[in-house]
Structure 1
Amino acid sequence: MPTLEHNALVEMFRETPELAPHFLVTLFDVDVPQHASVAVVESSIDQLIPVEFRADLVLELRDASGALVLAIVIEVQRDEDPDKKFSWPVYVTVVRARKRCGTVVLVVAPGADVAAWAAQDIDVGLGHIKPLVLGPAVVPEITDPAEAEKETELAVLSAVAHGNGPNGLAVVQAVLVALERLDREHAAVYFQVIWNGLREPMRQALEALVMERQIEGEATLPSFMQKLIDRGRLEGIREGELKGIREGELKGKRDTLLRLLARAGIALTHDESERIQACTDIATLDHWIDNVLGAKTAAEVLS
């Protein structure tokens, strides 16, 4: 059964069919024929024998006169499927025969292992067919928010392909900026696809980044992220961080007070030492620190 990730990537090309020839030119250096339109057509590829092959998407490129100049068969592949090595050559030959134009298969494979498998030559007996595979080796790491806004769909593919890599957080940050420019529905679907592909360390890093910005008052959680990032967990992290900051400040004040008392030669009883350690009010500790100057006894300091 197709997953949300599979369907979302198919819909990306269905809603913006110009992406496919654009990627062929920019990422694969394919000499795409001059064309005036790109249209989605039927995805079922019937033969005279009682077998139906169904591709994820078929696109037609036509020139200004309406003549068909290229067909692109798009397949989203998230897992290895040995049957595809037999069906992909069928797509090329049958579509080419029916439409009387050049035909290519473009496989969208976000995972590195699946992409490497998909890119292998397919032996058809008297030669080989090599699919064009849009995977991590071809999709660039987009870390510049401006570039992500310009090439939003490519930035989404970049986050899916490289989100768990060494530059994963920068890649995800860049696409988040671009997603905020989209309508809520598209942004939510794309973010879920990205989020589902992130492993736990990168999810934690993203949560920590959001938490840090909220603490600093820089940003609130974008609406398309709210359903997926656990706000309760985020608030727990935030509360823990703030508590840690406060505890660190209290400890620093106590240590300063104890050092000043030692330098002044003022000895503390067990109860007085416990009182200082138990104090959780920063203003009180500041008051005691000020009292050290000129004091002769601990009672004068802790007054």
Structure 2
Amino acid sequence: MPTLEHNALVEMFREHPELAPHWLATLFHVEVPPHASVEVVESSLDQLIPVEFRADLVLELRNANGALVLAIVIEVQRDMDPDKKFSWPTYVTVVRAKKRCGTVVLVIAPDAGVAVWAAENIDLGLGRGNVEPLVLGPAVVPEITDPAEAEKEAELAVLSAVAHGNGPNGLTVVQAALVALGRLDQEHAMVYFQVIWSGLREPMRRALEALVMERQIEDEERFPFVRELTDRVKLACIREGELKGMREGKLEGKRDALLRLLARAGIALSESERARVQACTDMATLDRWIDNVLGATTAIEVLS
């Protein structure tokens, strides 16, 4: 089932179809045919491709006279799926046959491993024909660390944060993307933030949380998603405090139980031995000392 992150990336191209030919030209250095318009036309494939073959999106590029000059099949791929090596050639041949124009597959693959897999040449048989998808992955998507550059191309900044957010410059890349989100409406900013957040691994999430809590990003009106992240951090701190309090309570209970058992056994503790008991924060050690009281006659035997 498609995830929110998958759907959000598809919607990025649905709402801004001009991104596809723009990135083909600027990132892949492909010579895109001159065109006057780019339109989403995936619904026209309903009668062309069997139900098991459904592309995420299909775009049509038309020239000033309305003639089709190129079709782009958009596929968002977050995992390796062997079936795609059979469906992608189907998309190309069916769309090309119907529309009588050149057709390419553009795969959006934020994960480096998935991107390498997706970019493999697909041999159609006996080396007599092939389909080679264009893959927008970490090797192609630039690391955007300049907030001003990110604001110019917010969607590319989002892809940059997803592709490079866990890398050496990850925090800087994510910060630039968050600045770019500040110029979008609240709904899109929140969705894109969730896409970025979902792609971050635990160390980078903690770093981003620390950044927010240090108030380096302060304008919650401009950055509505920061409020959500701040609340998330506060809740985590509360839970951590509750767990710490529960653990401390259990430790204190075991220390008290040990001291009562020692008193009942008539075993006296020196000041240093009592301090050692009070300073112990290891549950297993306290349990062992409690067990040692039975049959012991000295504190040394208990605290061994």
Q: In which range does the TM-score fall when normalised by the shorter chain?
A: 0.7 to 0.9
- In structure 2, the residue matched to 1:170 is 172
Please identify, of 120-129 and 133-142, the stretch whose mean Cα deviation from structure 2 is larger.
120-129
Residues 27 and 50 of structure 1, relative CA distance in 2, 3 Å threshold? closer
- In structure 1, the residue matched to 2:299 is none
- In structure 2, the residue matched to 1:113 is 113
- In structure 1, the residue matched to 2:93 is 93
Deviation at 1:48, TM superposition (A): 7.5
Deviation at 1:225, TM superposition (A): 3.0
- In structure 1, the residue matched to 2:218 is 219
The alignment status of 1:64 with 2:64, answered yes or no, reads: yes
- In structure 2, the residue matched to 1:31 is 31
Amino acid in structure 2 at the alignment position of 1:212: E
Structure 1 distance, partners of 2:7, 2:158, is 14
- In structure 1, the residue matched to 2:40 is 40
Tell me, yes or no, if the aligned pair for 1:188 and 1:225 is still in contact at 8 Å: no
Residues 11 and 51 of structure 1, relative CA distance in 2, 3 Å threshold? closer
Deviation at 1:10, TM superposition (A): 0.1
Q: Any gaps of 5 or more consecutive residues in structure 1?
A: 240-303
Structure 2 distance, partners of 1:3, 1:228, is 20
Q: Residue 104 of structure 2: SS of its match in structure 1?
A: strand
| Structure 1 residues 113-132: aligned runs within 5 Å | 113-125=113-125, 126-132=128-134
Residues 65 and 145 of structure 1, relative CA distance in 2, 3 Å threshold? same
Tell me, yes or no, if the aligned pair for 2:9 and 2:76 is still in contact at 8 Å: yes
Structure 1 distance, partners of 2:109, 2:94, is 23
Q: Residue 58 of structure 1: SS of its match in structure 2?
A: strand
Q: Residue 214 of structure 2: SS of its match in structure 1?
A: helix
| Structure 1 residues 161-240: aligned runs within 5 Å | 161-213=163-215, 219-221=218-220, 222-229=223-230, 230-233=232-235
Amino acid in structure 2 at the alignment position of 1:103: T
Please identify, of 105-114 and 35-44, the stretch whose mean Cα deviation from structure 2 is larger.
35-44
- In structure 1, the residue matched to 2:294 is none
Q: Residue 184 of structure 2: SS of its match in structure 1?
A: coil
Deviation at 1:128, TM superposition (A): 2.1
Q: Residue 34 of structure 2: SS of its match in structure 1?
A: coil
Tell me, yes or no, if the aligned pair for 2:6 and 2:76 is still in contact at 8 Å: yes
The one-character-per-residue Cα deviations of 1:151-204 (angstroms, maximum 9, x if unpaired) are 110000000000000000000000111101110000000000000111111011
RMSD in angstroms over aligned alpha carbons?
Answer: 2.1
- In structure 1, the residue matched to 2:139 is 137
The percent of aligned pairs where both chains have the same amino acid is: 78
Residues 157 and 48 of structure 1, relative CA distance in 2, 3 Å threshold? closer
Moved over 6 A (4+): 234-237
Deviation at 1:127, TM superposition (A): 2.5
Q: Residue 74 of structure 1: SS of its match in structure 2?
A: strand
The one-character-per-residue Cα deviations of 1:93-138 (angstroms, maximum 9, x if unpaired) are 1100000000000000000111011001111012321100000000
- In structure 2, the residue matched to 1:255 is none
Q: Any gaps of 5 or more consecutive residues in structure 2?
A: 242-304
**Count of matched residue pairs:** 235
- In structure 2, the residue matched to 1:77 is 77
The one-character-per-residue Cα deviations of 1:49-94 (angstroms, maximum 9, x if unpaired) are 9665210000000000100100000000001110000010111111
Residues 63 and 220 of structure 1, relative CA distance in 2, 3 Å threshold? closer
- In structure 2, the residue matched to 1:274 is none
Structure 2 distance, partners of 1:49, 1:220, is 48
Amino acid in structure 2 at the alignment position of 1:213: R
Q: Residue 39 of structure 2: SS of its match in structure 1?
A: strand
The one-character-per-residue Cα deviations of 1:198-231 (angstroms, maximum 9, x if unpaired) are 11110111111112226xxx72543123334514
Structure 2 distance, partners of 1:49, 1:110, is 27
